[in-house]
Amino acid sequence: MATTNFQARIDRINRAHQGMAPARAKAPIRALKSQPVPMTMQRQPRKRFAIFDHFQPIAIGSVLGCIAAVLLTGLTSENSPWGPGTELNQMMFLPALGGLALAPVLMLASLFLASKKPGFALFSLSYLTGLVITMMF
What are the distances in angstroms from CA 68 to CA 16, 104, 106? Answer: 75, 13, 14
| 75/82 Cα distance (integer angstroms) | 6
List per-residue pLDDT tens for the chain, 137 residues long: 566 778 888 888 888 777 665 555 556 666 566 666 555 656 667 777 776 788 999 999 999 999 999 999 999 998 899 999 898 999 999 999 999 999 999 999 999 998 899 899 999 999 999 999 999 98
Q: Would the pTM count as exceeding 0.75?
A: no
With beta carbons less than 8 A apart as the criterion, state whether 63 and 130 touch: yes
